[in-house]
Amino acid sequence: MSVLVVGTVAFDSIETPFGSAERILGGSASYFALAASFFTPVRIVGVIGQDFPEEHLDLFSQRGIDLEGIKRERGDTFHWRGRYHEDINVRDTLELHLNVLSGFVPQLPDRYRDAEYVFLGNIDPVMQMEVLNQIRRMRLVVCDTMDHWIRESSTELSKVLQRIEMLVINDSEARLLSGYNNIVRAARAILKMGPKVVLIKRGEYGVLQFSDSSVFATPAYPLEEVFDPTGAGDSFAGGFLGQLARSGDQSQRGIRRAIVYGCVVASFTVEDFGVKRLTTASLPEIEERYQRFVQLTDFHT
């Protein structure tokens, strides 16, 4: 069972209170793919420029990630520059260069079209819809978005929301999308827009899951040091959907377990800059931290 992701493959320049990094590998699809690849084969759909180094592609290949859906175009790769505040939950976008991403029309290789598990990473909802339209068979579609698309492309976004099963979104974005400040009301309003399940990411405070019949809350894995939160959300989504694909269990119990796997994978990502920690972590380490998470949240015994 494999997972298909469409999203950005990027250069990120990042400043956190603990240091900085220039033009390192980033992007929603990169984090998602590396995170999900612990659990299941992954296929990426995205675009890179001529400046994108082979060593990054090799890194994906070494993790068994299928790159046939990555197109190399004339021009530069998408570049994002961000700075985190002392309160690491707050970040500013300092620069955003779409470069080859502007005008990109995703083209799925034929063998990607029976995708089953799909993650529509944070890109233009028009591109997300383009991918959905090319898929013949799908079992589960999970979508992410951000404030920019909620503000600028609400009509296109609402069409995408009607075609997905699950939405992964930050708490501030959930408020913006719904118009409600209270997060429970916000989630209920979003459920009426199409998705059957809404997963609300709350940074170091964890994740809330809402559906018509259930609510589930989990903390983030408590860490003493968070170096770089970039990609935590996409790593959460990768761990979550990777585990759902691995288990095939979409019951409420299976979804809860997958949410915890998502939190565990994200906790590795934030321990170092960029994707670094995702490339050194192993599945046994992830399973061990998952067991610790079970103890952390156990109050029955």
Binding site for ligand AMP (CB under 6 A): 8, 10, 12, 26-28, 31, 80, 96, 122-123, 148, 230-234
Q: How far apart are CA 140 and CA 118, in angstroms?
A: 6
In terms of DSSP H, where are the helices of the chain? 28-36, 54-62, 125-134, 147-152, 154-161, 171-178, 183-191, 232-247, 252-269, 276-280, 283-296
Contact 64, 85 (CB under 8 A): no
The distance of closest approach from Cβ of residue 234 to ligand AMP in the complex, given in angstroms and rounded to an integer, is 4
Task: Select 12 or 130, whichever has its Cβ closest to ligand AMP.
Answer: 12
In the complex with ligand AMP, which residue's Cβ is closer, 128 or 230?
Answer: 230
Q: Which is nearer to ligand AMP, 231 or 239 (CB)?
A: 231
Looking at residue 298, what DSSP letter applies? -
For the bound state, the minimum distance from the C-beta of residue 253 to ligand AMP, rounded and expressed in Å, comes to 26
CA distance 230 to 202: 14
Which CB sits closer to ligand AMP, 63 or 188? 63
Buried/exposed 144-181: b ≥16 CB within 10 Å, e otherwise: bbbeebbeebeebbebbbebbbbbbbbbbbbbbbbebe
Q: Give the shortest CB-132-to-ligand AMP separation in angstroms.
A: 18
Tell me whether residue 152 or residue 288 sits nearer to ligand AMP (CB atom): 152
The distance of closest approach from Cβ of residue 216 to ligand AMP in the complex, given in angstroms and rounded to an integer, is 21
Considering the complex, state which of residue 164 and residue 247 has its C-beta at the smaller distance from ligand AMP. 164
Minimum distance of ligand AMP from residue 213's CB (angstroms): 28
Instruction: Give the Cβ contact number of residue 48 at 10 Å.
Output: 26
The answer to whether the CB of 144 falls within 8 A of the CB of 241 is no
CB 123, min distance to ligand AMP, A: 5
